[in-house]
């Protein structure tokens, strides 16, 4: 990762964390969770459904659940990229320091 990539990832991480703490995101999550509950209850309350309809509803429930978790996943991915970049920089720094050492 270049220094520009690292700076961009840090800015992205900061923005994602701000979004996660925003009232708007909390409202979106609450609305989706309510819709998920309604979809699950409809699935349970309607015993006569075709297999295609059941699969469609299960897919919709899964997609909504994944959407609710997408912000946490993006934050974790970005943090991982930054940790990896930090480890790579540290390794590069240590290798350079060892190469510049005088022999014993």
Number of domains in the chain: 1
Look at residue 7 and tell me if it is in a domain: yes
CB 4 within 8 Å of CB 84: no
12-21, 68-77, 80-89: the lowest-pLDDT one: 80-89
Look at residue 55 and tell me if it is in a domain: yes
pLDDT band at residue 82 using 50, 70 and 90 as cut-offs: very high
Look at residue 40 and tell me if it is in a domain: yes
Report the chain's mean pLDDT, rounded to a whole number: 88
Domain carrying residue 55: 3-99
Look at residue 104 and tell me if it is in a domain: no
Question: Residue 97: what pLDDT?
Answer: 65
Query: How confident is the model over 5-33, as pLDDT tens digits?
Result: 899 999 999 999 999 999 999 999 999 99
Question: Residue 95: what pLDDT?
Answer: 63
Look at residue 52 and tell me if it is in a domain: yes
Look at residue 53 and tell me if it is in a domain: yes
Query: How confident is the model over 46-57, as pLDDT tens digits?
Result: 878 889 988 988
């Amino acid at each position: 990762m270049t220094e520009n990539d690292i700076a961009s990832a840090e800015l992205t991480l900061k923005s994602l964390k701000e979004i996660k703490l925003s009232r708007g995101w909390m409202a979106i999550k609450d609305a989706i969770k309510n819709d998920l509950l309604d979809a699950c209850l409809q699935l349970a309350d309607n015993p006569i459904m075709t297999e295609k309809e059941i699969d469609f509803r299960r897919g919709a429930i899964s997609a909504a659940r994944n959407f609710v978790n997408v912000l946490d996943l993006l934050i974790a991915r970005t943090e991982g990229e930054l940790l990896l970049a930090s480890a790579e920089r540290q390794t590069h720094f240590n290798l350079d320091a060892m190469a510049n050492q005088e022999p014993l």
